[in-house]
Structure 1
Amino acid sequence: MQSSRHWGLVVSLAGCFTGPVVAGSAGFAGIVASADSAETANGNPAGMSRLAEPTTSLSLMMARGFGEFEVDEGKTTTGGGNPDDDSSPVFLPQAYHVRPLNEDVHVGLSLTVPTGFGSEYGSDWAGRYYTDSYSLVYVALTPAISWRINEQWSIGAAVGINYIASESEVAINTLVPGAADGRMKAELDGVGTNFTLSLLWEMTDKTRFGLSYTSESKTDIDGDLKFRNTGPVIGGLLERGILSDEIEVEQVQPQRIIGGLYHELEAGDFIVADIGWVEFSRFGANSISLDGQDLNVEEGGFNNFWAGALGYGFPEHNGLRYTLDAFYVQAPVDDDKRTLALALDRIWGFGAGVQVDHGKGQLVEFNVHLVDFGKGPVDTGTSAVRGRVVGETDNPYALIISGAYHF
């Protein structure tokens, strides 16, 4: 599902920046200072102090990518051509709940997918010896607490319990002339933790600032390597125990810090903005392949990056409120270090949304975003066994439709 992988890149970088993607008062903007729904339990736990009643938010995002990876056959040395294409949409649900214990102390719970990567190219394309398919998914259960210090200041904290699952499959060059490719599949998982500390400064009734820091999470994920049709060379290494069928790698979800502003104008419209930094150079994504007789675990080579979002909300009229927003994420990797499994590039996008107030604290929200996730050019370099693969993504766009029910 080549097109579907591209929404995953969007979610991944946005997720590293914001945590859950659907969390602002104006689409992707307003993450840490809006504090007007249960989503603040994850975006900025300190913001829970603004919610006077028990509040729940349920959200669902649907994303469909239109990009296709195009192999440069003039520079690529392995036959097979372009990868398969599947334009199936992908769905991402999330849930949040906040409950006041008293006027000053609130607790919350979030069930989210803060980060997820995915690529699926098929088994016969030119880069099959580097990756056929790769997925890395985080599922986080996050309890949180906030304390209102006074009318202006609140602080919050949360602990993320992160389940990580990684699965990858790759073709094996059996090193036997004329023989069919072998296969190697890796299935790994593990559980890690991190923490969030945050604050909210309500400078006036109409202006507030938020700040949220989330620590990195280190997790040892382990599992099995499953081989098929290995050929005499790789099969012999397995039989003698030189090549193991078990593996353990360290997976790092990087630390991040996000600051934000919410300001309401006299007419009732509002402006929100966020800026964040992610220590993505610590990110420990791994794709696993065989380079001849050597097990190759691709990791590192990433850069720290900045991201920002800006949103505007129109005054509420007849129970309707409209929003516009835009965001930008720096490329987290240089062109010469980009891999086929994680062909990450810079991202920018813009969107519009509507919120419908049904009364009694019930709100329904819809947002639509058009995203450009970059061409992500890749050059694997030369390998005597795996060959060289060069290419980039054509039509690097994605459509993201999200909705939330607040009650």
Structure 2
Amino acid sequence: MFAFQGIHRVFKRISIASMIGLGAFSTGPAMAGGLITYEVGTAEVGLGSAGYSARAQDASTVFTNPAGMTRLEGTQYVGAGQVLWGNTQFSIDSGTAPGLGDVDGGHAVGSDGWFPGGGGFLSYSVSPALKLGFALTGNFGAPLNYDDDWAGRYYVQETTLLGMSFLPSIAYRVTDKLSLGAGVNAMYGSYENQVAINNLLPAFGDGQLKIDDTEWGWGVNLGLLYEITAGSRIGLTWNSQVDLDFDAPAEFSNLAPGLNTLLNRRGMLNANIDVGIKVPQQLMGSIFTQVNDRWAALGSVGWQQWSKFGQVQIGIDNVLNPTSITTDLDFKDTWHAALGAQYRLSEPWLLNFGIAYDSEFQGGSDVSPLLPVNSAWRFGVGTEHQASATFSWGVAAEYLYGGTLDVNLESEAPVALGGRGDLVGTYDDTGTVFLALYGNWKF
């Protein structure tokens, strides 16, 4: 009877925490080494992700390493929210086809550069050795919204690729030093892509192609935590690939009559587009060590398999001879490294700071305007305050620097002859500022 009541209470708390998490939650754009971000409004923002799989100091470990729940007592809940502003604005170069105009597209990320994020994380103690957890957050995707008449409109106008994860998890302390954890990643994915179509005849203006789909994907998160000493530990995590099999019909609108007829004859007008997104598997190894009463050092290394991502670019290269409405984009695997520290300012105050680097996932210096991200540096700082025995809160900020990204797309035909037109330019000094606020409750 006691066990049944305990399970009933944890599911009730999970339901409440989920609703709170939904209020704070929204996936945000990932601006580094791919489209998976470490920032979900928690202390990781201030640490630059250092110690990601080994920190295990609050219930957010349900997400970063489920094995870390064995270090938590009782029931704990972290509610986290964040806002970001991204500087992702295209600068048109002289190599861009004159027929594309001179509109730069504006700040492409979110709403004029702004986007919210966050999540909710709950850990429950069934016994000192057995823990249950639940997390609701999103760390995958990139929402972009260019001006409809920008110079790159025939390559992309608007795209949304977001994943929201529901993560029931379990952890067990095998020995005094070793803990193992596992979670199911139920990801709800949303995909939308919109691009202008060159109607060739100015009287008709631009046509439009849009695809829109939602899909569930499933994966597994596995974690290990080994406590070398009372103040030092290492964490290892593996997140499996999640397949988001987006498959939606091509929705054309405002096409010139001749182009409409030609696309219909070639079976492209109502064709289904298989986007084939795969959220890549990833490995992360982290370390945490309490150097003395005031200082702790943290570090992480990681790998993500972006070569399996599978994103496509939609559109028509030449409306006089349309042969396809998709173009495959190639990506490569990425590496991650982070170093950080915690400093105890006083009994209630803790300072976090860290730095991290993610390698590029698009080859060379050129990127697609569909994904204006590549390698990046992170610089984070934050502070936490222990307000009482049962409540603490923290604030954190991070600057992510993505450098200058080049775009050099060559069209099959000039704009005047039905092509997309050459698009040449740069995203200068790309960067994102994250601001996070979180609370940690113990019951």
Q: Which TM-score tier does this pair reach, normalised by the shorter chain?
A: over 0.9
Q: Name which of 26, 30, 48 aligns with 2:47.
A: 26
Q: Quick one: structure 1 residues 19 and 201, their matched pair in 2 at CA, closer, same or farther if it must change by over 3 Å?
A: farther
Task: Indicate yes or no: 2:279 matched with 1:253.
Answer: yes
Q: Quick one: structure 1 residues 183 and 14, their matched pair in 2 at CA, closer, same or farther if it must change by over 3 Å?
A: closer
Q: Name which of 302, 309, 315 aligns with 2:344.
A: 315
Task: Indicate yes or no: 2:400 matched with 1:371.
Answer: yes
| Matching residue of 1:279 | 305
Partner of 2:186: helix, strand, or coil?
strand
Q: Supply the distance in 2 between the matched residues of 1:369 and 1:22 (Cα, whole angstroms).
A: 11
Task: Indicate yes or no: 2:131 matched with 1:110.
Answer: no
| Matching residue of 1:58 | 79
Task: Indicate yes or no: 2:145 matched with 1:153.
Answer: no
Q: Supply the distance in 1 between the matched residues of 2:117 and 2:33 (Cα, whole angstroms).
A: 15
Shift of 1:178: 5.1
Q: Supply the distance in 1 between the matched residues of 2:283 and 2:277 (Cα, whole angstroms).
A: 20
Partner of 1:127: helix, strand, or coil?
coil
| Matching residue of 1:399 | 433
| Matching residue of 1:195 | 220
Q: Which moved more, 1:258-267 or 1:393-402?
A: 393-402
Q: Supply the distance in 2 between the matched residues of 1:284 and 1:23 (Cα, whole angstroms).
A: 32
Say whether the 8 Å CA contact 1:311–1:323 is kept in structure 2: yes
Q: Supply the distance in 1 between the matched residues of 2:213 and 2:323 (Cα, whole angstroms).
A: 19
User: Aligned partner of 1:349: which letter?
Assistant: R
Partner of 2:101: helix, strand, or coil?
coil
Q: Supply the distance in 1 between the matched residues of 2:170 and 2:273 (Cα, whole angstroms).
A: 37
Q: What's the CA shift string for 1:50-75, capped at 9, x where partnerless?
A: 11111111111111123421010234
Aligned pairs (5 A) from 1:299-310:
299-310=328-339
Shift of 1:251: 1.2
Q: How many residues are aligned here?
A: 400
Q: Name which of 385, 407, 412 aligns with 1:356.
A: 385
Q: What's the CA shift string for 1:162-214, capped at 9, x where partnerless?
A: 11111111111123365411111111221111111110000100100000001
Say whether the 8 Å CA contact 1:60–1:403 is kept in structure 2: yes
Shift of 1:14: 7.3
Q: Name which of 237, 249, 256 aligns with 1:224.
A: 249
Q: TM-score, normalised by structure 2?
A: 0.85
Q: Supply the distance in 1 between the matched residues of 2:439 and 2:411 (Cα, whole angstroms).
A: 51
Q: TM-score, normalised by structure 1?
A: 0.92
Partner of 1:8: helix, strand, or coil?
coil
| Matching residue of 2:314 | 288
Partner of 1:272: helix, strand, or coil?
strand
Cα RMSD (Å): 2.1
User: Aligned partner of 1:312: which letter?
Assistant: A
Say whether the 8 Å CA contact 1:258–1:276 is kept in structure 2: yes
Q: What's the CA shift string for 1:261-288, capped at 9, x where partnerless?
A: 0000123320111110001111122332
Q: Supply the distance in 2 between the matched residues of 1:135 and 1:208 (Cα, whole angstroms).
A: 38
- Structure 2 residue runs without a partner (length 5+): 1-27, 414-418
Say whether the 8 Å CA contact 2:368–2:407 is kept in structure 1: yes
Between the aligned residues of both structures, percent identity stands at: 25
Q: Which moved more, 1:14-23 or 1:126-135?
A: 14-23
| Matching residue of 1:3 | none
Q: Quick one: structure 1 residues 73 and 15, their matched pair in 2 at CA, closer, same or farther if it must change by over 3 Å?
A: closer
- Structure 1 residue runs without a partner (length 5+): 1-6
Q: Quick one: structure 1 residues 17 and 151, their matched pair in 2 at CA, closer, same or farther if it must change by over 3 Å?
A: farther
| Matching residue of 1:4 | none
Say whether the 8 Å CA contact 1:138–1:165 is kept in structure 2: yes
| Matching residue of 2:68 | 47
Q: Name which of 138, 145, 148 aligns with 1:123.
A: 148
Partner of 1:290: helix, strand, or coil?
coil
